[in-house]
Structure formats: C-alpha cells, structure tokens
Structure 1
Amino acid sequence: MALDFSAHPAADLSAIAYPDRGSSPSESDRLLVMLHGWGADARDLADLAPMLDLPNYQWRFVNAPFAHPQIPGGRAWYDLENQSFAGLAQAKQSLRAYLLSLEAETGIPLARTVLGGFSQGGAMALDVGLTLPLAKIFSLSGYLHFQPETQPSLTAPILLIHGSADLVVPVAMAQQTRAELERIGAAVEYQEFPMGHEIPPMVLARLKAFLS
C-alpha cells in the first residue's frame, strides 16, 4: 500500500493539547510543539508532558498529515520508503502554517515557542524550525535531509540527542547533522547516550534541563 500524497489544505494538522483545552485557563507563558516519528501518532509522545513536569509550558502534540501505509492508525510526515521523500513539501507547508497559527490560539508568540520531535518528527522540527524565529529547537534520534543554509532568523539554541547504538537512524547521521548546523553558525548542544532508538529517562532529564 502506497502513501496517499494527494493535495491537502496547508493548515489541516490536528493536535493533542496539554493541558486539555477544556481545563481551566492556563497561566503558562511558553509553548512546546512536539512531532512524533514514522508510523506513530500524536498520542505516542503525549505522556511526556506530565513526565517532564514543566508548569510554565503549554504543549501541542501534532499528528502528521499522511496515513501510514502499513500501520493502522499510524501517521507519516512524508514517504521514508524512497529517496524522493514524497509529501515532504506538503508536510513542511502544513507544519509551518500550523506553527504560525498558534499565537492566535494560545497567545504565545514564536519567540516563546519550542519545536521538537522524535526520529522523523525530529527531522521535521529541524527542517521547519530553522526557518522560524523560535525560542528553542530539539531533535531526538533525528536527522537532516537537506543541506541547511544560514537563516537570518536562526537564533534559537538547538539540542540534538542520539543513541550510540541506534539501529534505525545511525548515530553518524546525528553527527553529520551537528556538523551541518555548526557550519551555518547555529548554537548546537549535542549529546550521545548508550541507547538505541528510544527516549529513556536519561534523555528526559537532559531535555528538561534544556527546556527549563
């Protein structure tokens, strides 16, 4: 079964909000948008919000725009099964439009918004985040699929975390990502852990320190 990359509206992304939109008004003054990996969905990472316990943050866990070709209920940001990355341009357009819409919803500007993701979501966070004036960017077990260029708006510190035993996204891809980002003058924090393609407690502790 192939992915359906038919055209879709630029701002059609859905997300899980934490705290829930139906709860009492939040006094959080920061926003964290997190992107799941290939074949997962927004629920896959939603448990991280209470685990990280960052009371000054609102969270949005975003669903990728495409249905996964093999996993029922799974989502995909673009096609990982060939080198053309079909759907990537549409996904980037959708994510950028979504991010630009959030200030009207939350009252929190991009300058106090953090964008991050895991695996394919980490790649998307770098792809789109490098072009926006965000507060911070992070990529867990992620990668770059393009050669970045210097962006005037790129002032956000970037955290890259990767497993030295990652068999899904080899650590060499993270090391290359670090080198490419440093080449364009980005402020990069890089950490390898003795782990695979996962988010264990030691990663959460490092991420919380970056976000606090």
Structure 2
Amino acid sequence: MNTDLTTLIELPALPLAHRVRAPQTGPIEGSPCLLLLHGVGANELGLVNMARLLDPRLTVILVRSPLAFGPMQFGFFQVNFTASGPVINAAQAEQARQGLTTFISGLPGAYGIDGRRVWIAGFSQGGILSASVGLTRPDLVRGFGILSGRILPEIGPLVAPPDQLADLHAFLSHGEHDEKLPIDFARSAHALLLEKGVQLTYQEFPAGHELNAAMLDAFNQWLSGQLSR
C-alpha cells in the first residue's frame, strides 16, 4: 500500500477515501496518528505540503470529505454564508461527524496505528468537524485542532461531560482579519472550551482566512509537544 501521499486510498473497512504519510522514524504499526481535514470546496491535496512538514513520528492521514460539490471540490456539509452568519445543513454535519468516528475506530485495524494516540485537526470546515469529533467522542482522540474554524452550536447536546473532557487537549488558532469566519467565532470557541475544562492552546494571528507559515509552525509545535507528553 502506498503511504507517501501520492495515492488516494479506498478501503472497504474505512468509510472515507484518504492519503497516508507514514512515519519517518519507524513503522506505521504502533505509531501515533494525526487526521487532517480540508476546508469546504477544497480537497486533501491542498494539505500535502503541510503533512510532509509535520512531526516525523506521526502517521498523517489526509481525509477526503464525502460530498462532491464540483470537480475536485469536496465538503463535509453544505453551508451558506449570509449577512447574519453561516447557515449549515445540520443533518449532513451530523452524518459527517458519525462517519469520522467510524473512520477513526477502524484505523488501528486497517493500519496498526496506536488507537490511544490519535489527534484530529483541520482548516475551516475541517477544523469544525475536528472539534465536533473531539468534544463528543474524547474516547477516540487525545486532542483536536481548529485552524480558522469554529464550534457548531448544533453539537451542544452531544458534548461529553466535563469529567470526560478533562484530559482532552485542543489547539485553536485564527486570523484576526478573517473575512469568512470572523474572529468572534474563535473567541467564542475559546470561552466554550475553557468552560468545558478542555486543556487549550489559543493563538490569534494578523491574518485572514488562511493557513500561513506562522500558523502552521505554531500548530506543529503544539503537536510535537503533545507527542512528548
């Protein structure tokens, strides 16, 4: 099986197509694992360069979201950006959350990764789904990263109780000049995560709706620290 990110992999045991970067320091078997999720209207290829720069101890899995919106344009759920804020297809978002939990549960059997050391992170809509998975299924992941995303209020009833979130770690970064998801979304997520007792690293950057070098470096530093815990 090709694990250098050049091949899109589809396995009967896993519900989502994906690409894999094997660890550079040892075998996939028993390795820690990071899932990276792309934004709406994009695809996993946009994260290949990022994946190659991340901590070499990791197996990195780039997930292709399941809904096709155009040629090589995918997403986890439909969203309309209105004057009063983004309006989502909540049923699709919930189906995506469940699909990701099934995908994560199947990774140890499919690849032999260490199921006790899994993180999930993503950009924009990918970060939204990462938070949805982390906050509702902390038994599946050690932590999650929201890179220029938000937390859906729709998951509120599904969020795990504080005692189950106490060991969960989160990384939250956002551009102060984000025109698509304004900084207030990040600040609201910051307050919610602190209220829930999640162990949080939070950073704002003088940037728009993007993943620039400074943001990627901050995330990688956080992730490397997680691996060393």
**1:187 corresponds to which letter in structure 2?**
Q
1:73 CA drift (Å) = 1.6
Residues 149, 58 of structure 1: alpha-carbon distance in 2 compared, 3 angstrom cutoff? closer
Q: Are 2:61 and 1:60 aligned?
A: yes
Paired with 1:136 and 1:107, the residues of 2 have a C-alpha distance of 19
Residues 169, 141 of structure 1: alpha-carbon distance in 2 compared, 3 angstrom cutoff? same
Q: Tell me the C-alpha RMSD between the 2 structures.
A: 2.2
Q: Are 2:190 and 1:190 aligned?
A: no
1:111 CA drift (Å) = 2.2
- Of 118, 122, 131, the residue aligned with 2:123 is 118
1:149 CA drift (Å) = 4.9
Decide whether the 8 Å contact of 1:18 with 1:58 is kept in 2.
yes
1:42 CA drift (Å) = 1.2
1:88 CA drift (Å) = 1.2
In the other structure, the counterpart of 2:164 is 153
Secondary structure in structure 1 of the residue aligned to 2:40: coil
1:108 CA drift (Å) = 2.3
- Of 14, 37, 40, the residue aligned with 1:38 is 40
In the other structure, the counterpart of 1:72 is 71
Decide whether the 8 Å contact of 2:30 with 2:112 is kept in 1.
no
1:175 CA drift (Å) = 0.4
Decide whether the 8 Å contact of 2:127 with 2:145 is kept in 1.
yes
In the other structure, the counterpart of 1:98 is 103
Paired with 2:144 and 2:196, the residues of 1 have a C-alpha distance of 15
Measured against aligned partners, the alpha-carbon deviations of 1:80-129 in whole angstroms (never above 9, x if no partner) come to 12444341121111111001100112222332111101000000000012
Of all paired residues, the percent bearing the same amino acid is 31
- Of 112, 129, 133, the residue aligned with 1:107 is 112
Gaps in structure 1 of 5+ consecutive residues: 1-8
**2:134 corresponds to which letter in structure 1?**
G
Secondary structure in structure 2 of the residue aligned to 1:169: coil
Decide whether the 8 Å contact of 1:149 with 1:184 is kept in 2.
no
- Of 15, 20, 31, the residue aligned with 2:18 is 15
| Within-5 A mapping of 1:162-201 | 162-201=174-213
Measured against aligned partners, the alpha-carbon deviations of 1:33-53 in whole angstroms (never above 9, x if no partner) come to 01100001111112112223x
In the other structure, the counterpart of 1:51 is 53
Paired with 2:127 and 2:194, the residues of 1 have a C-alpha distance of 17
Paired with 1:10 and 1:93, the residues of 2 have a C-alpha distance of 15
Gaps in structure 2 of 5+ consecutive residues: 1-11, 81-86, 225-229
Paired with 1:93 and 1:10, the residues of 2 have a C-alpha distance of 15
Please give the TM-score of this superposition, normalised by the length of structure 2.
0.80
Residues 109, 51 of structure 1: alpha-carbon distance in 2 compared, 3 angstrom cutoff? closer
Residues 151, 61 of structure 1: alpha-carbon distance in 2 compared, 3 angstrom cutoff? farther
Q: Are 2:138 and 1:132 aligned?
A: yes
**2:188 corresponds to which letter in structure 1?**
Q
Paired residues in the alignment total 198
Secondary structure in structure 1 of the residue aligned to 2:41: coil
